[in-house]
Structure 1
Amino acid sequence: MKEKKKKHKSMLKWFIASIFLIFMVRAFFFSNYVVEGHSMNPTLEQGNFLMVNKMVYAFSKPERFDIVVFSHPEEKFNYVKRVIGLPGDQLEYIKDQLYVNGEPVLEPFIASDQLKVFGGNFTGDFSLEELTGKEKVPKGHVFVIGDNRLNSLDSRHFGYVSMEDIVGKVHVRYWPFDEINTTFK
């Protein structure tokens, strides 16, 4: 009987320790985010639930086309957008073609039928210098744009995003269940 009680106490301790560990990992490494708005359509839609890895950029830097959640220093809520420009990049869009440092770069997440529907000027022509007065993305910053270019408040409007303001990288869309996804490129 004593041995059975010891076993139950031991299992209870392990259970409590496991729950504590799960909450700690959740608090420090991951965050949930609910998509609000249509700026990332069709990749992410309003009401999608996302899991954001908060620690990924503690050990690495954002990569082009990562989807990130960040807090805007002047706003009281978070945004979710796609990283288009990295520090040192010179960016330009001409006729819906992205050029990075003078070289054309494909954006596989923008479907060709989206471009056709909107008449070939889905993103709008611009250069960084025209928008921001700077020729290149500054050190410690990224340039972000929503996938729904015609309906996105992003770096074209509010400028660069400091890497310090990035909450984390979107790793999983877990709601709705039939649209679970871990690949967003």
Structure 2
Amino acid sequence: MSEKKSKKSSAFEWIKAIIIAVGLALVIRIFLFEPYLVEGASMNPTLHDGERLFVNKTIGFTNHFNRGDIVIINGEENGLHYVKRIVGLPGDTIEMNDDVLTINGEEVEEEYLDENRQEAEQIGLLLTDNFGPQEIPEGNYFVMGDNRLNSMDSRNGLGFIDEARIIGRSEFVFFPIGEIRRTN
């Protein structure tokens, strides 16, 4: 009789452990970190098509995004997700002239664009077409891909991004294994 109780107790402990593990995994995935697949070339050379990254979703709860953060955006109407870099913050006035980004009247260096800028110069193009000045409404962000010649972003289709559409901030690439690195 005690052997039956011991087997039932052991089975119950296993079931309890599995339920707790599944519950923790769901909580982590829903509220803390979630993997995403990079699709397309809009963030080259920073991120590449087919890479997988972990996204910190807790940053969305604090509503604290910084200029330069790489974020995942809910595409709302089409169910897609976009990976873009935050360039302008709520209340900023943003302008681009001759590949020089100006925010609130000050030039902003974008070192992460050096490789793409050189390629654009070689073919005789500006990396980023001129626009602005535009004031970013409160509660919204201005985002662009790092591959400005091949990116749908706030300039040409996505418009200003409401804070509620930002799922989280990219933290690191975890696949392919040989390319593991931080992204922010």
Deviates more, 1:9-18 or 1:24-33: 9-18
How far did 1:7 drift?
A: 8.7
| Mapping 1:157-168, distance limit 5 Å | 157-158=156-157, 159-168=159-168
Secondary structure of the structure 2 residue equivalent to 1:65: coil
Q: 1:163 to 1:31 in 2, by over 3 A?
A: same
Q: What is aligned with 1:180? A: 180
Q: What is aligned with 2:64? A: 61
Q: What is aligned with 1:91? A: 94
How far did 1:137 drift?
A: 0.3
Determine if the alignment matches structure 1 residue 146 to structure 2 residue 151.
Answer: no
Q: 1:10 to 1:40 in 2, by over 3 A?
A: same
- TM-score, reference length from structure 2: 0.85
Q: What is aligned with 1:40? A: 43
Secondary structure of the structure 1 residue equivalent to 2:181: coil
Q: What is aligned with 1:75? A: 78
Q: What is aligned with 1:121? A: 126
Secondary structure of the structure 1 residue equivalent to 2:149: helix
Deviates more, 1:40-49 or 1:102-111: 102-111
When Rg is computed on C-alpha atoms for both structures, the one with the higher figure is: 2
Structure 2: 5+ residue stretches without partners: none
CA distance, structure 2, for counterparts of residue 109 and residue 183 of structure 1: 11
Amino acid across the alignment from 2:154: S
How far did 1:175 drift?
A: 0.7
Percent of matched pairs sharing the same residue: 39
Deviates more, 1:24-33 or 1:64-73: 24-33
How far did 1:11 drift?
A: 5.9
CA distance, structure 2, for counterparts of residue 147 and residue 153 of structure 1: 11
Secondary structure of the structure 2 residue equivalent to 1:157: coil
Contact 1:72 1:161 in 2 (8 A): no
Contact 2:140 2:163 in 1 (8 A): yes
2:107 to 99, 104, 121: 104
Contact 2:88 2:136 in 1 (8 A): yes
- TM-score, reference length from structure 1: 0.85
Secondary structure of the structure 1 residue equivalent to 2:60: helix
Secondary structure of the structure 1 residue equivalent to 2:156: helix
- Equivalenced residues, count: 177
Amino acid across the alignment from 1:114: N
Amino acid across the alignment from 2:63: S
Amino acid across the alignment from 2:117: L
Q: What is aligned with 1:22? A: 25
Q: What is aligned with 1:169? A: 169
Cα shift readout 1:39-61 (whole Å, capped 9, x = no counterpart): 00011111011111222121132
Q: What is aligned with 1:137? A: 136
